[in-house]
Structure 1
Amino acid sequence: MFVSPLFIDLEANLIYHENNKKKAGANMKFKWDKSYFGIGLTAFIVIACSILFYLLINRFDVIWDGINFVLRILMPMIAGMVIAYLLNPLLNFFEKTCFKKVQPQLKYSKIRRVLSVTSTFLLALLLLTGFFWLLIPQLVESISGLVDQIPRYLNQAKEFTDQLLKDNPSLGELFQIDIAGFFSSLQQVLNGIGDYLPAMQDILNGATQGAMSVVNSLMNIFVGFVVAIYLLYSKERFAGQSKKVLFALFPRNFTLKTIDILSQTDRMFSGYIFGKVVEAFCVAVLCFIGCTILDIPYAIIITVIMFVFNLIPFFGPFIGAIPCTLLILLVDPLKALWFVILICVLQQFDGNVIGPMILGNHTGLTSFWIIFSIFLFGGLFGFVGMIIGVPTFAVIYSLIRALVEKRLRQKGMPVSTRDYMKMRHVVPEDSLVIVEETTKEMRKPRIFTKKQKVPADEQLGEKETGKDTKQ
């Protein structure tokens, strides 16, 4: 059979084009476009974050309950971390001072670490035991005496008020005070406590829950001490493992910055909290000595209150002095006045001698920012926020300051706040002209450029010299 060459060429062309289409289809099938993958991943992350944010807003109570549940489970571990962090300076003291000569050729000696950890916890337990052994009997005696004296204090207050209204009858007419009725009602309440015996079941239930809470807290503290022993003994290993995980999961520069920030936070917190505890203890000891010399009643209770509130900067001592003054005022108004004078003297001595000697300017914050941090963190986290607010805000403040100064250096501008306080204007060449008042009669401007920072008169002199040379 005869086949035309034209037909053969046409069939060959068709086969060729079919093969090209198959190859093109195969290439298109396995082609991977990374840009589309990035767009899709970004869209997925945005949608997922939006859903999580919606659930966080609408189910916040459920999420918060879940967080509290997890925190209750981890409370012994958290307590152990806090105890280990607070005892770490004492451990370093024993290692670098008392047991420095134990295996000095080794940087990390197990024997030295065991001796230091043992000494640290023995000293801590000894101090706590001695503190409570001295405090609890005196505290119980003071509270018992205060409760026994309440009726007498009420009678004294009634007699004082009656005498005040008798000498000033216009006060009673102005405020319409029925003193007799008020104290009679109060006395009936105190005498009628026995009428509330049917409600003893509820009281016992509340007492049982309180006792269980105390036992649970003591168990958390006990387990926390055990956890703290492990953490302090192997603190370098735990720190190394944490850094290892950070370097594995995050970029190198980010990890280095994170470690630097954590080191700065550790220095700020450890120095501030340890110094604040020592400062509050010194003030409390001086307060106890002063109360004993002045024969002020309830010296132990007052000392404990002043120690706790002295941990709060600025307002703490004055907040703690208010209930103490009212307590003394019930016994002897004159001694209450002496106590107020004692607190004022102690605060002056603390602010000018004890505080600068122990803490110095450790935080680098001005008085305004200290007050701001106390109000902010106290409102957010209560009493604990007032204590940790200052070092926390100091870390945030230092990070923001470092970022601002870095950006200013990149722009070739000065970083000193003093220069911006006297800024006059910015010249078009990206330079900053600043007026510095050396005296009242003379103002010497300085020009800061991106490349250099020299006095303005030198720059102007160089420009004039250049003009003369050209001429």
Structure 2
Amino acid sequence: MKFRPDKDQITWSITGIITALVVMLIYYVIFKGNHILSGIHSVINGMEGIVTGLVLGYILSPIMNFIEQKILEKIWEKAGAKRDEYGEFRQKQLIRNIAIVITMAIVIFVIWSFLYYIIPQIYQSIREIIRNIPMYYRNVDLAINRFMESSDPVTISTVNSIADQIYIRINNFIQETVLPNISQIITIVSMQALNVINSLINLIVGFIVAVYVLNSKEGFCGKGKKMAYAFFREDIANELISSSRLIHTTFTGFITGKIVDSAIIGILCYIGCLILKIPYPLLIAVIVGVTNIIPFFGPYIGEAIGTLILVLINPWSALEFLIFVVILQQIDGNILGPKILGNSTGLSSFWVIFAIMFFGSLWGFVGWILGVPVFAVIYALISRLTNHYLCKHNLPTDEDTYIDTAYIEDGSFHYLGDPSSTKYRSQKAASSWSRIFRSKHKEEHKKAHIDKASDNDQAKKDE
């Protein structure tokens, strides 16, 4: 007689197998997670060219769309070309190819200009700063000596003590860290040189991949939607596609806006440094523009680095630069930033700081830049999910309604401060001092009540 398991036995068996696999997976992630991370890191390194191409294509997509839709299609319309019933030109692929060529030409021209004009000037500025370090050291030493001559003995002793401590720490660092590890430092520098070559190769691969991404971006979107409707219910697929649009809008709005905003700030900083005759204007402007990409903290980082460089060269120029950058930051924060970025993230200042610190600790410099849009997407998705379930329970979705809410019972709101709201610890607890004085007041009130009752009893007896 053959054993034939029934439906329940098969279900429980499959459930047990899946549970065991999940437990094993959790165990492996907890205790062997470093192997998973190293494997993921290896895959990412191997796919760096593809990832670079995808990111580059995504960033360049708005530029190509502008060239294609706002320039080339207008030219085709003026030339008398007609659109079909779907609103497309018969020469759609030709227009797309021309747009891609123009976009890539613009990118190559920008990179070439940066390498040919800007990098040499920055390199020359850094060389001059390094060459003039002895002079800067003498200037600082002279300023300190002048300060010491006009100071009292206690201040002189304190400054000498601090200077001795700094000298001892620098000397210990050189003797204990730098010199014993000089061979490792040379190895690290050599590895970085190889990494630069590898990055150039990945950049070339990335450009090729970006061309394919720009040419077939509608096809990728169509395949994604097709898979969503194939594997999920219609409402779930619609939510997934809607969430994808939210992610796309948030990232493109923030990243492109931040790049444009930082470029404008860098150009304005360069012009201002030229007018004020601040040393090394291009180097200072590049520092301010690049650090401005980092939300919230970026302007302060650029301001601190630029001021530190100029203090060694000319303290008066450093003061002028500091005042100028503060004014520039006010223009950016109150005029340029809101005009270009708008409210692309929808996050308050607290959540912006939280996102920068959290994702910066995970991903480093990349986390400082991408942490805000990533957290904005997570925040928006959680808000949408929360509002979905609130509507499902026939509850309001505006946040102000819940600020003074004590509890909800049978669909009715009970608010803090309402004497009828007596459940779920909704009454405000008294402070320790108020409890002390209230207890004393209660004792006095109780004693007065007892004395009054005794007087009434005595009066009845007398009657």
CA deviations 1:21-71 (Å, max 9, x no partner) are xxxx78xx55x5322222221211111111122222222222222111111
CA drift at 1:250 = 4.0
Q: Note the 1:59-78 alignment, pairs <5 A.
A: 59-78=32-51
Aligned sequence identity (%):
34
What residue number does 1:36 align with?
9
Supply the distance in 1 between the matched residues of 2:377 and 2:220 (Cα, whole angstroms): 23
Supply the distance in 1 between the matched residues of 2:389 and 2:117 (Cα, whole angstroms): 56
Q: Indicate conservation of the 8 Å contact 1:309/1:316, yes or no.
A: yes
Tell me whether 1:140 sits opposite 2:118 in the alignment: no
CA drift at 1:211 = 2.0
What residue number does 2:141 align with?
158
Q: How many correspondences in the alignment? A: 401
The answer to which of 338-347 and 251-260 deviates more is 251-260
What residue number does 2:83 align with?
105
Supply the distance in 1 between the matched residues of 2:129 and 2:103 (Cα, whole angstroms): 38
Structure 1: runs of 5+ lacking an equivalent:
1-24, 436-471
What residue number does 2:202 align with?
220
Supply the distance in 2 between the matched residues of 1:164 and 1:226 (Cα, whole angstroms): 61
Tell me whether 1:120 sits opposite 2:120 in the alignment: no
Supply the distance in 2 between the matched residues of 1:412 and 1:223 (Cα, whole angstroms): 53
Equivalent of residue 372 in structure 1, options 354, 358, 371: 354
SS in structure 1 of the partner of residue 413 of structure 2: strand
CA deviations 1:367-390 (Å, max 9, x no partner) are 222122112111221111111111
Tell me whether 1:432 sits opposite 2:413 in the alignment: yes
SS in structure 2 of the partner of residue 262 of structure 1: helix
CA deviations 1:197-228 (Å, max 9, x no partner) are x9997666444322211110011011000000
Equivalent of residue 260 in structure 2, options 275, 278, 288: 278
TM-score normalized by the length of structure 1 = 0.78
The answer to which of 280-289 and 47-56 deviates more is 47-56
**Partner AA of 2:28 in structure 1:** L
What residue number does 1:345 align with?
327
- 1:174 to 1:181, Cα distance in 2 relative to 1, 3 A: closer
Q: Indicate conservation of the 8 Å contact 1:161/1:179, yes or no.
A: no
CA drift at 1:434 = 6.5
- 1:200 to 1:352, Cα distance in 2 relative to 1, 3 A: closer
Supply the distance in 2 between the matched residues of 1:79 and 1:182 (Cα, whole angstroms): 44
What residue number does 1:22 align with?
none
SS in structure 2 of the partner of residue 432 of structure 1: strand
Tell me whether 1:236 sits opposite 2:218 in the alignment: yes
**What RMSD over aligned residues (CA atoms) do the two structures have, in Å?**
2.9
Equivalent of residue 86 in structure 1, options 53, 59, 67: 59
**Partner AA of 2:68 in structure 1:** E
Equivalent of residue 284 in structure 2, options 278, 283, 302: 302
Q: Indicate conservation of the 8 Å contact 1:158/1:183, yes or no.
A: no
Supply the distance in 1 between the matched residues of 2:384 and 2:395 (Cα, whole angstroms): 14
Tell me whether 1:403 sits opposite 2:376 in the alignment: no
What residue number does 1:331 align with?
313
The answer to which of 343-352 and 51-60 deviates more is 51-60
- 1:411 to 1:165, Cα distance in 2 relative to 1, 3 A: same
Supply the distance in 1 between the matched residues of 2:142 and 2:155 (Cα, whole angstroms): 16
Supply the distance in 2 between the matched residues of 1:257 and 1:334 (Cα, whole angstroms): 58
Based on CA coordinates, which of the two structures has the bigger radius of gyration?
Answer: 1
- 1:39 to 1:200, Cα distance in 2 relative to 1, 3 A: closer
**Partner AA of 1:177 in structure 2:** S
What residue number does 2:428 align with?
none
Work out which structure has the larger RCO, using CA pairs closer than 8 Å and 6 or more positions apart in sequence.
2
What residue number does 1:131 align with?
114
Tell me whether 1:420 sits opposite 2:419 in the alignment: no
What residue number does 2:155 align with?
171
- 1:406 to 1:340, Cα distance in 2 relative to 1, 3 A: same
Supply the distance in 2 between the matched residues of 1:130 and 1:72 (Cα, whole angstroms): 29
CA deviations 1:382-440 (Å, max 9, x no partner) are 111111111111111111111222222222222111222344665x54222679xxxxx
Q: Note the 1:51-66 alignment, pairs <5 A.
A: 51-66=24-39
Structure 2: runs of 5+ lacking an equivalent:
417-463
Supply the distance in 2 between the matched residues of 1:92 and 1:233 (Cα, whole angstroms): 11
CA deviations 1:230-289 (Å, max 9, x no partner) are 111011122222333344444443333222211110011011100010011111111111
SS in structure 1 of the partner of residue 293 of structure 2: coil
Q: Note the 1:184-223 alignment, pairs <5 A.
A: 205-223=187-205
- 1:167 to 1:67, Cα distance in 2 relative to 1, 3 A: same
Supply the distance in 2 between the matched residues of 1:138 and 1:421 (Cα, whole angstroms): 56
